[in-house]
Amino acid sequence: MTASSSDLIYRLLVQSVVDYAIYLLDTDGNVVNWNAGAERAKGYNAQEIVGRHFSVFYSEADRAAGLPRQALETARAESRFEAEGWRLRKDGTRFWTNVVIDAIHDDDGKLVGFAKITRDITERHQQELKLVEAKELAEQYSQQMASLSHFLDSVITNIPGSVLALDVNGELEGGPGEILLANAQARRLFSGGAAMQGQTVRGCLGAEVAAYLEGLAAASASGEAPPDDSLVQTPLGPRTLRSRTVVGSKPDGAGDYLLVITEDVTDELAAYAQIHHMAQHGGLTNLPNRTFFQQRLEAAIADSAADGSHAAILCLDLDNFKNINDAFGHGFGDKILLMLAARLKKCVREHDTLARLGGDEFAVVLPRIGRVDEAQHAARRLIDAVAPPFAIDGHSFTVGLSIGIAISSHEGSSAEQLLRFGDMALYEAKHNGRNRYELFRPELEAASRVRRQVEIDLRRALHRGELQMHYQPIIEKEGCRISGYEALIRWQHPVRGAIPPMDFIPIAEETGLIHELGARALNLACQEAATWANGATVAVNLSPVQFKNSELVKTVALALEDAGLPAHRLELEITESVLLANTEGNIRTLQALKDLGVRISLDDFGTGYSSLSYLRSFPFDKIKIDKSFVRDMGESREAMAIIRAITGLSSSLLIEITAEGVETEEQFRQLQVEGCSHFQGYLFGRPVAAEHRIEELDGRGAG
């Protein structure tokens, strides 16, 4: 049986067990998950109980006495708590339970939660009470034993556990003799259903079972507790048995007997093992999670330090996976992750550890590598494995894989340090074009510090007024009039000078500063545009991250009001990634902005996951053809075909078209012929500060 099939069987086992309530608690005692047995025993479904404290199952008196708290304290201190007692169902009824709470620790000894297994033993408890009562009555009133015999047989027969009474002839050291009593459960477990009463242990039972029972008798003779859970070869196969023993005197004074009550806890322990597995593995891919990965990485580092080898970590991240998730839904995304996990598993060695750290982030631990190129070869195998398209429900998806590699040093490395270095190398791989790997090198740490410093300086710049807007003219079709300007943010650092937007906008998006930065840009652009005498429009870019801000519409309305700028003079440019999500919330936000009276433009159209159907998702006022098509249209038939498709559809929908990146007269004339209504590019002017902007064009005709 493979590890994956074994894990599946365990998972199905836990979910299908109905005789045991099996669930996890976090370190505070809150319920984390819930199986069918728990629902059956306690009456709550998972939605009603997950997240609530397990003390809800105790009576008010027990809670006042602190029993739930004492149980967790015992489990923390001794790693295990076991007790029997009354608990409450959802409907308020009581039931007698056997409760086991096991503390779950990671390899460093840190408590990560508790495994709780509860079994409704009300019937057994009542039967055992009756059995004890019957035993006491039998000893006190030996003359009534005959009349009670039938009753005792009935009780013993119906006890869920295996019950054996063994004649010890007054001396336990001599070992058990004749089997005085064996209920149906004992016969099934120990002899395969064959009769046992009146025979000796050695005479009717297998060697392992006989040895187990003899061991219980010896422990009772010496006053020791019965052995812990024992694996015994029984007629049912290898089973884990848990027994309790009681020594009693025969009512006729003819010696002693040993009462053995045995439970088969094989399924219970298997369920606990599965819970432990689930605590260390992800639910979707069944790969190790971050906690387990950290343990394996620390072990690999320790092993490499002992034998002079290296441990390597590969930090993996899918390229553009979020776009697919947003465009097609998380169901498709999950299917890709499952297929991806299967491909990645085939590329790692048996002693490597592949883990999913969260979302589309994966990582691999390579223990005991001798050379750096071993890690590089492993990275290349993973990238190649992900390259073929994923075919799902009639759709084909292609994603890339970026990988950052970090290698432990002989001078000493920590797991935290390797993860940090791996993340830096991953960032570099994405920065250098994606779908590739990069090996950590010391200068990347310096670059990371620079990015951190940029973040710090950007926060200061927002408060010191170091940011300003530059404006690039947008020209009407005839080429002789400026209809508006695109506002582009610029940062003049007091020490480093001009910092390009590509060096700080991504950092602003990563850190959430884009919301404050975007609001600043919007306010500056509206205030400066309000002073223009020619009534030109101003176009302001909105980051996709800004669209997640519920205050966006309010921010735009306040910027217009504070500046006194008519709404029709403001044009907001969004990118296609906003449409990829295609959620009702984004459409409502776009419509709310439109209702303010501002114009909405679709920027960089034709790139990424573009689709002409986007133009039907929302009534855009303008679309902007990406400058890459303008640049290539003279040499690429495909670029010209895309331009013509966009202009044709936009013309029929009465949507204005701006061609970006126009740098030559030839491009300008051709785009006029193709039907573009507006133009923007270095041919007409570069972005400059408001006071230096071009207000009119001299001597330009229609070409």
Total structural domains within the chain: 4
Q: What is the pLDDT at residue 614? A: 60
Residue 62 counted as domain residue? yes
Whether residue 350 is predicted with pLDDT greater than 60 in this model: the reply is yes
Mean pLDDT of the 326-353 span: 84
Residues 264 and 285 in one domain: no
Domain boundary among 104, 120, 136: 120
| CATH number for position 26 | 3.30.450.20
| CATH number for position 600 | 3.20.20.450
Residue 128 counted as domain residue? no
Mean pLDDT, the chain, rounded, equals 84
Q: What is the pLDDT at residue 580? A: 63
Whether residue 332 is predicted with pLDDT greater than 80 in this model: the reply is no
C-alpha distance across the termini of the chain, in Å: 77
Q: What is the pLDDT at residue 141? A: 56
Residues 389 and 505 in one domain: no
185: Cβ contacts below 8 Å, ≥ 6 apart: 159, 160, 161, 162, 163
Token code pair at residue 424: 């830096």
Mean pLDDT of the 75-91 span: 89
Residues 406 and 471 in one domain: no
Residues 538 and 631 in one domain: yes
Of the candidate ranges 3-7, 56-60, 387-391, 668-672, the one whose mean pLDDT is the lowest: 3-7
Residues 498 and 628 in one domain: yes
DSSP calls for 449-486: HHHHHHHHHHHHHHHHT-EEEEEEEEEETTSS-EEEEE
Domain boundary among 101, 120, 139: 120
Whether residue 9 is predicted with pLDDT greater than 50 in this model: the reply is no
Q: What percent of the chain is modeled with pLDDT above 90?
A: 27
Q: What b-and-e string marks burial along 263-288, b requiring 16 or more CB atoms within 10 Å of the CB?
A: bbbbebebbbebbbbbbbbbeebbbb
Residues 436 and 318 in one domain: yes
| CATH number for position 423 | 3.30.70.270
pLDDT digits (tens, 9 = 90+) for 581-629: 556 777 888 899 999 999 999 887 766 555 555 666 678 899 898 898 9
Domain boundary among 270, 304, 327: 270
Whether residue 555 is predicted with pLDDT greater than 90 in this model: the reply is yes
Residue 126 counted as domain residue? no
Ramachandran angles phi, psi of 275, nearest 5°: -60, -45
Residues 254 and 289 in one domain: no
Mean pLDDT of the 169-189 span: 74
Of the candidate ranges 128-137, 436-445, 506-515, the one whose mean pLDDT is the lowest: 128-137
Q: What is the pLDDT at residue 226? A: 79
Residues 99 and 208 in one domain: no
Residue 430 counted as domain residue? yes
Residue 211 counted as domain residue? yes
CA gap 187, 175 in Å, rounded: 20
Question: Residue 6, CB half-sphere, CA atoms under 13 Å: how many?
Answer: 7
Residue 607 counted as domain residue? yes
Domain assignment of residue 355, given as a range: 281-440
Residue 43 counted as domain residue? yes
Q: What is the pLDDT at residue 178? A: 85
- How many DSSP H helices and E strands does the chain contain? 25, 26
Residues 414 and 524 in one domain: no
pLDDT digits (tens, 9 = 90+) for 513-523: 899 999 999 99
Q: At 4, is the pLDDT very low, low, confident or very high (cuts 50, 70, 90)? A: very low
Residue 583 counted as domain residue? yes
Residues 296 and 236 in one domain: no
Residues 245 and 392 in one domain: no
Residues 115 and 229 in one domain: no
Q: What is the pLDDT at residue 170? A: 45
Give the number of other CB atoms < 10 A from CB of residue 575: 19
